Amino acid sequence: MSPKVLSPGVPRHVAIIMDGNGRWARQRGKPRLYGHRAGAESLRAVLRACRDHGVEFLTVYAFSTENWVRPRTEVSGLMSLLRTFLKKDERELHDNQVRLRVTGRIQDLPPAVRAELQRVMEATQAYTQGHLILALSYGGRSEIVDAVRAIAARVQAGELAPEKIDEAVIARHLYLPDVPDPDLMIRTSGELRLSNFLLWELSYAEFYFTETLWPDFREPDFARALAEYARRRRRYGAPS
């Protein structure tokens, strides 16, 4: 039997709420997009740090289902930043054999963004060295709603008996069923909330909060989060 209390070492999957871009820009008297642009640099730095530290999966909350209500210029600015990121960083994904994936309601994204995402996802789909998962038009509750709808449709079609629905069935109907649950969730900028991020998948994750604003979060900050994670004892409900 495997031990119930594990010393975690390096997390296999890290999920990040990249928060604080707006405040970072405001502190400099700049528009919010200036902060998002600097945030994209942090994402690059953390993706490289994942490779260097042996973290296999990185999921980042890049755009939530709630973010659609932001001013139109900010939404379109974020979408064009995403396209620039895909164009500029595709080479690096190939060089490091990193597979790009999306979790969320990708159908909500503008067609040009969707097309670019599909192209890079297909071009990198064979890679297994690392996995970058962009949460886009993502909401944890929407993901569960979509899973319930898919399961209900199977029940209605007579393919699944209601009493056969268990945790494994639900997990199989989430957006990326083959991706292991995150081991560590990082949120920057001092906010202590989950904000509808990976509600199901983060059930047993360790949480790490830092006051650092996302555009200032770079490799040394990531290394600190990993060091803190390595000191934790994961109990999965077992006694201490």
Pick the closer one to ligand FPP by CB: 98 or 134: 134
Q: Which of 167, 138, 139, 165 is CA-nearest to residue 151?
A: 165
Minimum distance of ligand FPP from residue 222's CB (angstroms)? 14
Q: Is 21 in the site for ligand FPP (CB under 6 A)?
A: yes
Q: Which residues of 142-151 are buried (b: 16+ CB within 10 A; e: fewer)?
A: bbeebbeeeb
Stretch that binds ligand FPP, among 6-14, 80-88, 144-152, 157-165 (CB under 6 A): 80-88
Minimum distance of ligand FPP from residue 5's CB (angstroms)? 35
Q: Is 100 in the site for ligand FPP (CB under 6 A)?
A: no
Q: Is 67 in the site for ligand FPP (CB under 6 A)?
A: yes
Q: Which of 24, 36, 120 is CA-nearest to residue 80?
A: 36
Q: Is 40 in the site for ligand FPP (CB under 6 A)?
A: yes
Pick the closer one to ligand FPP by CB: 120 or 134: 134
Q: In whole angstroms, what is the distance from residue 123 CA to residue 39 CA? A: 25
Q: Is 20 in the site for ligand FPP (CB under 6 A)?
A: yes
221 alpha-carbon distance from chain centroid: 18
Q: In whole angstroms, what is the distance from residue 7 CA to residue 4 CA? A: 10
Q: Which residues bind ligand FPP (CB under 6 A)?
A: 18-23, 32, 36, 39-40, 43, 62, 67, 81-82, 85, 134, 189, 214
